[in-house]
Structure 1
Amino acid sequence: MQELTFWKMVFEASFFIQFLMLCLLAGSVISWVSIFQRWQVFRQAQQAHEEFRERFWSGIELNELFRNTDPHEVTGAERIVFSGFKTFNRIRQKTTDAQPILEGVERSMRIAIAEEQDRLHSSLPLLATIGSVSPHIGLFGTVWGIMEAFKSLAGVQQATFAVVAPGMAEALMTTAMGLFVAIPAVIAYNRYVASSESLLNHYENFADEFSGILHRSLIAKKVD
């Protein structure tokens, strides 16, 4: 009796099953590349947030903090606060009324937060798609393989387990591959969505704190 190995089933599978396996393999590669890229993005975003928060609350003047800031190089809370501070200085040159100044600052920071959200969520829909579609591709391959296995029995006078087993194993192999591709993608997607929401909440809280600082500054100058 010949040993039924994984590679033997792969190479002896039908062309259509091999095509589905190739699709699942490509999905797995794309998924893991996206997972590592997102891991690096979120790790850097978290580190940048902690470093900027420490510098911001160190007592340094805002003009000094953003003296050499390039808006195209900063991300996260630093970019959001810089956007608000830039708008604050621009509008304050035209009016001393606190309300339009703060409205402009908050609008500018909301836009920056939305752009940061797009940056953090990049590639996450791809992971969600791979995680949801891969099991269905595997199931489709299983159904196809079972149909082919039963069709092959038409020319056999006596159906035994030894005859049916290779076809069934080949059919179930695509389901296993689909789950192998989907499970890491779904886990990573859920983890990164939670990390993204946590960072965005930190950004929004930081923006609210900065708005409060500017509001108190405008009131103090108005009183003086």
Structure 2
Amino acid sequence: MIACLAPASPASAQPMAGGLPDDLTAWGMFISADWIVKSVMIGLAVASVITWTVLAAKTLELRKAAAAQRAALAAIEGARSLEAAVMAVDREALVSAALLAAAAAEVRQSADALQDGEGLKERVASRLDRIEAAAGRRMTRGTSVLATIGATAPFVGLFGTVWGIMNSFIGIAASQTTNLAVVAPGIAEALLATAMGLVAAIPAVVIYNHFARQIAAFKALVGDTSAAVLRLVSRDLSRGIVGKPDLHVAE
């Protein structure tokens, strides 16, 4: 027992030190890691790149769409009739243009039933609801991968850690030594996988929640635009105007 606790002589310590990795940086630990742990780390690095790519692309998309939607909403609210709104809205605001086109199409198709104002407004509202839902689905594209990364990356990193620590314990049994200096590098390599899993997961969760709020705000903006279009239809009906605006929006 006392002999086991005695410090090792320089002669006996030299072979152990010779087996240690020269580079204990993150890159050095990656290079010396087991191929399965390496695969886990590479996958997590790719997931992190995807997260930041989605952040850049979706931020630009949301910013452009929201700006166009606000401008279109202002134009629609300032118009006196559905036909005037069709002429005032920029066709680059695709969602607003689609809402106006749907309302105009329903007015044309109901030209012989305009006396049933409530029925017309109900049909227009049904069309607008479908366009709102489609706009919301389009805007959420690409964000589901963030939820997947945020939910799975910690467990993927944990798998790499478990595999690496298992190899370290096998190395302990093979070398028949419990010297921490010998087994610590392998354990550090394994724990690096968990760290990379957290580095990939935490930003993904934060960014996903950020986009969830931004998309909800965009959906509310589209809902306001839809309500403004429906008010124009109701206003035209009250005035007895039979508008025939023509607007074609590319799908």
Are 1:55 and 2:75 an aligned pair? yes
Question: Are 1:145 and 1:171, in contact at CA under 8 Å, matched by a contact in 2?
Answer: yes
Are 1:126 and 2:145 an aligned pair? yes
- Counterpart AA for 1:16: I
Shift of residue 158 of structure 1? 2.6
Question: Are 1:80 and 1:113, in contact at CA under 8 Å, matched by a contact in 2?
Answer: no
- Alpha-carbon separation, structure 1, partners of 2:79 and 2:35: 67
* Range that drifts further, 28-37 or 91-100: 91-100
The 5 A counterparts of 1:158-197 are: 158-197=177-216
* 2:30 aligned residue: 10
User: In the superposition, relative to structure 1, how do residues 55 and 219 fare at CA in structure 2: closer, same or farther (>3 Å)?
Assistant: closer
Is there any run of 5+ residues in structure 2 with no aligned partner, and where?
Answer: 1-16, 242-251
Structure with more relative contact order (C-alpha pairs < 8 Å, separation 6 or more):
2
Q: TM-score, normalised by structure 1?
A: 0.89
- Counterpart AA for 2:137: D
The 5 A counterparts of 1:103-122 are: 103-122=122-141
* Range that drifts further, 55-64 or 45-54: 55-64
Question: Are 2:65 and 2:93, in contact at CA under 8 Å, matched by a contact in 1?
Answer: no
User: In the superposition, relative to structure 1, how do residues 160 and 7 fare at CA in structure 2: closer, same or farther (>3 Å)?
Assistant: same
Is there any run of 5+ residues in structure 1 with no aligned partner, and where?
Answer: none
Runs of 4+ in 1 over 4 A off after TM superposition: 68-71
Larger Cα Rg: Structure 1 or Structure 2? 2
**Secondary structure in structure 1 of the residue aligned to 2:178:** coil
**Secondary structure in structure 2 of the residue aligned to 1:123:** coil
**Secondary structure in structure 2 of the residue aligned to 1:194:** helix
Deviations 1:58-112 (A, max 9, x none): 34653244249797x5333x13531343233323323112122112211111111
Sequence identity percentage: 30
Shift of residue 209 of structure 1? 3.2
The 5 A counterparts of 1:63-78 are: 63-67=83-87, 73-76=92-95, 78=96
Q: TM-score, normalised by structure 2?
A: 0.80
Q: CA RMSD in A?
A: 2.2
